[in-house]
């Protein structure tokens, strides 16, 4: 209504996330079937993951190890004697009628994750992690495929190991949720526990969202909505943002509070950019959790925990501080490189170690390589120039054996030709200019440009520029830096 | 009265060695015997005649080839119909699995084949092993070879017990020398007692459960039936052992560890505890005298008899039925008619998935299975799990501790297998609690994971002159103490043989 | 057993309870079945109720028959079933898929 006053409301958006991460094991959680993506339907199952009568599960030890890694990386408590529970519900892509999961004794719990505040890069946000538990994935349902609209079931994915990471409701905006997810994915990628490929469903996000609205007298919580199966960080951000607005509007219209309606599950419609109701359950689901009698508990000894900790790969934060300390990178450059993932960080480290020039190595990577990778939709492991070669090139520039322009020519050649630095220089006619040749060049330039030299001596520093350009014209291989050095020496000594 | 083939397994094999019989001849004889006796007893659901003869032929070839012989060479073995044999229907006597044909075999089936045994057929049972009378079966009831038909008291004859009644009867009637059953709360020992054969429930984890269609996974254990302790032990040795496909199967380390705590002993050095709480129950006079005779015999063999107490026994039945029902309700969730097994016809094209699943389960399961699914679902549901399931799991621990305390002072425990000999078919079908109480002495071994054996002691004449019913006792051993049970069984068996042959009165 | 009266029943269970269990367990019963299961469950639960009132705090819940832990397998790929084998027991098949009645989302 036009005459209604819409006072600015003080409210907070409250977001908690549940992230399903497919663990990078070769075989399934309880049987030996492979976990490959995109296989022909029902070609990657066995009696065990099909849940056929009489079959029994046996835990994949590597799934336990990967879950331990996540626990260690997120400062979590590793639960010795974690247990397996059956969560009962009927759905045709769940062949046993229950999902084997972990209920009250998850493998790891009570951790935290820090990430840069998207609203203020000087600040960090901290999100508490409630728990991360192991469970088996379900199969895939293709609805309405059969004649008479039946559903088709493919059980290839059934039994794939998932780690479900559950945060406390500590996030305060869609942007924070996205930043958290990026940081979490970066860590998981560094650990190598998952490929985090969201298109293939290796990382799936559910968001619980509601608002806390403050008026003069009280703080009112709106009903919690769970948005299911967000398949990209962008969609996660947009869906939460949409939900914030929708709930605010809904509250203004109805004043509905938490507890006044059952928990809603909504889905994100990426085309229409809205969330839609999927399910509203009157009674809370009764999963009848019950300890799985087929699986003995997993007891993590201190020794096994220590061993795993010792083998833990360096985490993003450790790489970052290494880069700023040893290679003197700015916080920003270090972050840009580290956020690209472990392969890029390792690539940088090799380049820097060979060239002994961190700053220049970082520039090549952030300005040239990342752009190219993006253009070519390529990963660093497929990039044609190996780190060692780039290291050699950067080293040559640092030692003034090459100028930047010539180095770029070599770099461009390397993108198509797998040849050595020496071969590349020969191909491009780049020869090393000897000290004597530089001296001769200096003598010639000094002799021919006395006026400019005088200008320089009288303080006109820029007078040297044209002289260096002249030298480059006379001998394209001469290093401008070395020539400049020799020229200054000559000027000083006369 | 059943005629038993008197041959032990060792004697059968020696016939093959000496060339007095071929495996094919012997197998044909077995098949003839089954064909003759099965119609009145209904022990077998299916006999794998062709495959049995084919395998017998292969074994006969092996006899002349000089290859080493497996320990069960040419011995026909009956399988309870809840153990998978690759390519064979395995139905659990249920409409739900009436046509279910697994492509995989149970570890026990594979071990038997590797031991050169001949799998002869599948035997009747209570549906999904839930029952104590082999009467809840889509294949009809099985009859005890003992007791005959008594017009007034047992018009349909006597119950073989259950749930492994078919296997017990197959051995008792001499159709086969050996059979496998499964025991979740007494399903081997109770039918063994009713049918007068030896039946062993091994220590939980000694025999792989892979390929055994689950009822109560933390209670189920496969075990042997036989007519004598030697045969029983032979079959047990073949099927026992670690299996990497069953995470609850005992590792060799665990087995070694348990065995050092339970060393073998001659009977003359054993202390045997009589379970006070069991002998204080209302027992039939036959069972009581069998217990007394057993005590006397064990004493004369040099064992020391003491009384021990298991104070939590009065709660064993309630604990067992709650836990077993919860595990069953969970295990049976997979039968939804969507992936395998019985699927109901849709009543209309628009019938929902949920409705078709519920109908499939409603049609596929029989009354006792439904009863346990309802009970287990109730005991695990929100608001009740704490007072039923949780309490039962705590009581289970208390019962385990009772046994551990008792075994600190004795080497074996002695008590009844059942309160009375076989009941008439149909006697308990109206009252589930009365039926459940027939298991009151057997469930504790499952709760505590202990080995226990039913040992036949005598045949007691029925009122009507020419019929008898077997009477048995039960012994429990500490974990992995099966060899003590075999020692006691051998001693009792030779005593009984002497009585039979009139050498002792 | 002496301390129990097998005739003791609990009145907590009604036909409504059975209907609720049917929904949870996806189990369709006939009206006749429902009536007899009410009686059975009352009897059984009445019998089992003795457990609920006991103080068993000193006993840790025991869900396994034996104490064994850390039984695991290595992360090794083993051959899967062929599609034909995988679908051998499926009631309805469509190509390489299992087919089930329409799932209403």
Instruction: Tell me the pLDDT tens digit for each residue of A377-402.
Output: 999 999 999 999 999 999 999 988 88
* Tokens found for residue B278: 């069991």
| Annotated catalytic residue, options B26, B109, B137, B163 | B163
From A22, A132, A159, A98, select the one nearest A291 (Cα to Cα): A98
- Does A92 contact B353 at a Cβ distance shorter than 8 Å? yes
Angstroms from C16 CA to nearest CA on chain B: 12
Contacts of residue A78, defined as CB under 8 A and 6 or more positions apart, other chains included, come to: A68, A71, A72, A107, A108, A300, A305
Give per-residue pLDDT as tens, B46-96.
999 999 999 999 999 999 898 999 999 999 999 999 999 999 999 999 999
Touching subunits of C (3+ CB pairs, under 8 Å) are: A, B
The answer to whether residues A166 and A207 touch, using CB atoms and an 8 Å cutoff, is no
Pairing outcome for strands A225-230 and B178-183: unpaired
Q: Is B187 a catalytic residue?
A: yes
Please state the φ and ψ torsions of residue B204, each to the nearest 5 degrees. -55, 130
Instruction: Retrieve residue A412's tokens.
Output: 């461009």
Q: Could you tell me the domains of chain C? A: 10-51 (1.10.20)
Residue A147 is predicted with a pLDDT of 65
- A288 close to B (CB below 8 A): yes
Which chain C residues have a beta carbon less than 8 Å from that of A27?
Answer: 75-78
Separation of alpha carbons B119 and B30, rounded Å = 12
Cα radius of gyration rounded to whole Å, chain B: 22
CB B338 within 8 A of CB C98: yes
Transcribe A248-309 into DSSP letters: HHHHHHH---TTSSPPEEEEEETTTTEEEEEEE-SSPP----EE-TTSPPB---HHHHHHHH
Three-class DSSP category at B120: strand
- Is the CB of residue A418 less than 8 Å away from at least one CB of chain B? no
The two three-digit tokens of residue B322, written as one number:
């709650």
Tokens of A463: 């007078």
**Of residues B84, B103, B327, nearest to A293 (C-beta):** B327
Predicted local distance difference test score (pLDDT) of residue A6:
55
Question: Is it the case that residue B243 has pLDDT exceeding 70?
Answer: yes
Catalytic residue of the set B109, B164, B182, B187 = B187
| Chain C residue closest in CA terms to B331 | C25
Question: Could you give the CA distance from residue B368 to residue B138 in angstroms, rounded to a whole number?
Answer: 12
Residue of B98, B130, B262, B378 to mutate when probing chain C, most C C-beta within 10 A: B378
| B454 noted as active-site residue | no
Place of tokens 């197959």: B170
Task: Report the pLDDT value the prediction gives residue C5, as an integer from 0 to 100.
Answer: 42
Identify each DSSP E strand in B109-161 by its residue range. Answer: 118-123
Residue A104 DSSP label: S
Among A19-23, A252-256, B33-37, B224-228, name the one with the lowest average pLDDT. A252-256
Mean pLDDT of A432-454: 85
User: How close is the nearest chain A Cα to the Cα of C8, in Å?
Assistant: 27
Is the pLDDT confidence value at B456 over 70? yes
- In the prediction, which pLDDT does A366 show? 93
Complete DSSP assignment for A360-385:
HHHHIIIIIIHHHHHHHT--GGG-SS
Q: C26 vs B204: CB contact, 8 Å cut-off?
A: no
What chains are in contact with B, requiring at least 3 Cβ pairs below 8 Å? Answer: A, C
Annotate B287-328 with DSSP letters as a single string.
HHHHHHHHHHHHHHTT-EEEEE--GGGGGHHHHHHHHHHHHH
Asked whether the beta carbons of residue C66 and residue B479 sit closer than 8 angstroms, the reply is: yes
What separation in angstroms does the CA of B37 have from each of B146, B149, B191, B216, B469?
A: 13, 16, 18, 32, 19
Please answer yes or no on whether C64 and B218 come within 8 Å at the CB atom: yes
The confidence score (pLDDT) of residue A146 equals 64
Model confidence pLDDT, tens digit, residues B174-197: 999 999 999 999 999 999 999 999
Catalytic residue at B201? no
Distance to chain B for A129, nearest Cα, Å: 27
Which residues of chain B are within 8 Å of residue A147 when distances are taken between CB atoms? Answer: none
Q: What are phi and psi of A61, to 5 degrees?
A: -60, -35
Domains parsed from chain A with CATH numbers = 6-303 (no CATH), 314-427 (no CATH), 435-492 (1.10.10)
State phi, psi for A64 to the nearest 5 degrees.
-65, -45
Does the pTM of the predicted model rise above 0.80? yes
Closest residue to B393, CB basis, from C63, C71, C88: C63
A191 to chain C, minimum CA–CA distance in Å?
A: 18
Residue-wise pLDDT for A136-145, tens only, equals 999 999 987 6
Mean of all residue pLDDT scores within chain A: 92
Assigned token pair, B312 = 């939590």
Instruction: Compute the distance between CA of residue A148 and CA of residue A157 in angstroms, rounded to an integer.
Output: 25
State the complex-level ipTM: 0.96
List the beta bridge partners of residue A12: A212
The pLDDT value recorded for residue A470 is 87
Residue B439, sorted as left (phi over 0), alpha (psi -120 to 50) or beta, turns out to be: alpha
Q: Is the pLDDT of residue C7 over 50?
A: no
CB C4 within 8 A of CB B314: yes
Task: Number of B to C CB contacts under 8 A, please give it.
Answer: 187
Q: Which residue has the higher pLDDT, A44 or B281?
A: A44
Say whether B100 and A53 touch across the interface (CB within 8 A): yes
Instruction: Give Cα A288 to chain centroid, integer Å.
Output: 36
Q: Is the distance from CB of B331 to CB of B217 less than 8 angstroms?
A: yes
User: Is omega for the bond preceding B258 within 30 degrees of 0, making it cis?
Assistant: no
Q: DSSP letters of B162-177?
A: SSSHHHHHHHHTTS-S
Residue B330 makes CB contacts below 8 A (sequence gap 6+) with A86, A88, A97, A98, A288, A290, B376, B380
Residues 225-254 in B contacting A (C-alpha not used; CB under 8 Å): 244-248
Structure token pair of residue A241? 């943002």
């Amino acid at each position: 209504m036009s005459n209604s006053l819409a006072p600015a409301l003080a409210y907070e958006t409250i977001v908690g996330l549940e992230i399903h991460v497919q663990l990078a094991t070769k075989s399934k959680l309880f049987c030996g079937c492979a976990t490959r993506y995109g296989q022909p339907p029902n070609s990657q199952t066995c009696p065990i993951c099909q849940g056929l009568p009489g079959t029994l599960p046996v835990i994949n030890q590597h799934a336990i190890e990967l879950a331990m890694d996540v626990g260690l990386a997120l400062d979590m408590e590793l639960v010795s004697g974690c247990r397996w529970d059956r969560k009962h519900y009927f759905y045709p892509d769940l062949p046993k009628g229950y999902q084997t999961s972990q209920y009250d004794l998850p493998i790891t719990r009570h951790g935290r994750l820090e990430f840069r505040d998207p609203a203020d890069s000087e600040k960090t946000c901290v999100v508490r992690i409630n728990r991360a538990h192991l469970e088996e994935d379900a199969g895939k349902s293709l609805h309405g495929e059969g004649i008479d609209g039946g559903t088709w079931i493919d059980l290839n994915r059934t039994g794939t190991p998932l780690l479900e990471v559950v945060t406390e409701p500590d996030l305060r905006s869609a942007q924070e949720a996205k930043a958290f997810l990026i940081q979490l994915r970066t860590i998981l990628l560094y650990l190598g526990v998952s490929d985090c490929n969201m298109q293939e469903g290796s990382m799936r996000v559910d968001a619980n969202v509601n608002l806390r609205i403050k008026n003069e007298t009280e703080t009112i919580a709106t009903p919690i909505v769970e948005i299911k199966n967000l398949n990209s960080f962008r969609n996660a951000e947009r869906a939460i943002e949409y939900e914030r607005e929708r709930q605010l509007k809904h509250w203004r219209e109805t004043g509905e509070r938490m507890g006044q309606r059952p928990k809603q599950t909504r889905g994100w419609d990426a085309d229409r950019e809205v969330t839609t109701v999927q399910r509203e359950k009157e009674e809370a689901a009764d999963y009848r959790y019950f300890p799985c009698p087929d699986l003995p508990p997993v007891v993590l000894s201190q020794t096994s925990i220590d061993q795993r900790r010792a083998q833990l790969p360096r985490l993003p934060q450790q790489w970052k501080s290494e880069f700023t300390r040893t290679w003197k990178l700015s916080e920003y450059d270090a972050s840009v490189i580290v956020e690209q993932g472990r392969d890029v960080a390792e690539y940088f480290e090799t380049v820097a170690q060979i060239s002994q020039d961190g700053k220049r190595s970082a520039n090549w990577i952030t300005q040239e390589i990342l752009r190219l990778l993006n253009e070519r939709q390529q990963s660093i492991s497929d990039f044609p120039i190996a780190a060692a070669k780039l290291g050699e090139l950067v080293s040559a520039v640092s030692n003034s054996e090459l100028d930047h322009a010539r180095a770029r020519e070599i770099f461009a050649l390397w993108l198509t030709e797998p040849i050595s630095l020496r071969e590349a220089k020969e191909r491009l006619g780049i020869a090393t200019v000897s000290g004597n040749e530089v001296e001769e060049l200096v003598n010639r330039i000094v002799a021919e440009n006395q006026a400019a030299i005088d200008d320089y001596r009288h303080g006109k520093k820029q007078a040297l520029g044209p002289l260096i350009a002249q030298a480059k014209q006379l001998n394209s291989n001469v290093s401008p830096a070395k020539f400049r050095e020799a020229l200054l020496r000559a000027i000083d000594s006369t | 009265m059943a005629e038993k083939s008197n041959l032990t397994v060792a004697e059968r094999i020696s016939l093959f060695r000496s060339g007095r019989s071929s495996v094919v001849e012997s197998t044909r004889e077995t098949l003839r015997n089954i064909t003759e006796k099965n119609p009145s007893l209904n022990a077998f659901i299916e006999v794998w005649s062709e495959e049995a003869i084919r395998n017998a032929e292969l074994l006969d070839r092996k006899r002349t080839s000089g290859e080493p012989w497996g320990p069960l060479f040419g011995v026909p073995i009956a399988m309870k119909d809840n153990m998978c044999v690759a390519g064979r229907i395995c139905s659990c006597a249920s409409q739900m699995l009436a046509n279910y044909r697994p492509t995989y075999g149970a570890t026990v089936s594979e071990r038997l084949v590797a031991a050169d045994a001949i799998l002869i057929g599948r035997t009747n049972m209570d549906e999904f092993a839930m029952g104590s009378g082999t009467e809840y079966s889509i294949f009809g009831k099985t009859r005890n070879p003992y007791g005959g038909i008594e017009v007034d008291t047992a018009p349909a004859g006597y119950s073989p017990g259950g749930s492994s009644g078919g296997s017990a009867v197959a051995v008792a009637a001499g159709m086969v020398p050996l059979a496998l059953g499964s025991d979740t709360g007494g399903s081997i020992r109770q039918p063994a007692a009713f049918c007068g054969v030896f039946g062993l429930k091994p220590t939980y984890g000694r025999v792989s459960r892979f390929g055994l269609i689950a009822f109560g996974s933390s209670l189920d254990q496969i075990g042997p039936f036989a007519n004598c302790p030697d045969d029983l032990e032979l079959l047990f040795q073949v099927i026992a052992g670690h299996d990497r496909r069953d995470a609850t199967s005992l590792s060799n380390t665990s087995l070694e560890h348990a065995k050092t705590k339970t060393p073998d002993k001659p009977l003359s050095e054993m202390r045997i505890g009589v379970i006070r709480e069991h002998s204080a129950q209302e027992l039939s006079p036959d069972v009581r005298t069998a217990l007394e005779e057993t005590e006397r015999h064990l004493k004369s063999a040099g064992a020391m008899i003491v009384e021990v107490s298991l104070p939590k026994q009065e709660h064993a039945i309630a604990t067992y039925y709650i836990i077993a029902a919860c595990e069953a309700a969970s295990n049976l969730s997979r039968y939804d008619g969507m992936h395998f097994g019985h699927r109901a016809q849709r009543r209309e094209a628009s019938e929902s998935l949920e409705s078709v699943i519920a109908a499939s389960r409603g049609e596929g399961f029989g009354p006792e299975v439904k009863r346990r699914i309802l009970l287990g679902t109730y005991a695990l549901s929100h608001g009740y799990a704490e007072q039923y399931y949780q309490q039962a799991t705590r009581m289970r621990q208390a019962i385990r501790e009772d046994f551990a305390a008792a075994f600190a002072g004795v080497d074996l425990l002695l008590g009844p297998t059942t309160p009375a000999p076989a009941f008439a078919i149909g006697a308990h079908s109206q009252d589930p609690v009365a039926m459940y109480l027939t298991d009151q002495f057997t469930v504790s071994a499952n709760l505590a994971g202990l080995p226990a054996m039913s040992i036949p002691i005598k045949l007691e004449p029925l009122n009507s002159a020419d019929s008898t019913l077997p009477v048995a006792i039960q012994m429990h051993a500490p974990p992995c103490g099966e060899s003590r049970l075999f020692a006691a069984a051998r001693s009792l068996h030779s005593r009984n043989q002497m009585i039979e042959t009139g050498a002792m009165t | 057993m002496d301390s129990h009266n097998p005739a003791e029943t609990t009145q907590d269970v009604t036909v409504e309870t059975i209907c609720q269990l049917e929904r949870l367990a996806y189990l369709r019963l006939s009206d006749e079945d429902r009536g007899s299961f009410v009686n059975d469950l009352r009897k059984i639960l009445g019998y089992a109720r003795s457990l609920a009132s006991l103080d068993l705090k000193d006993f840790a819940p025991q869900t396994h028959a034996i104490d064994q832990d850390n039984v695991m397998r290595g992360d090794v790929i083993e051959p899967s079933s062929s599609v034909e084998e995988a679908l051998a027991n499926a009631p309805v098949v469509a190509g390489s898929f299992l087919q089930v009645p329409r799932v209403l989302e």
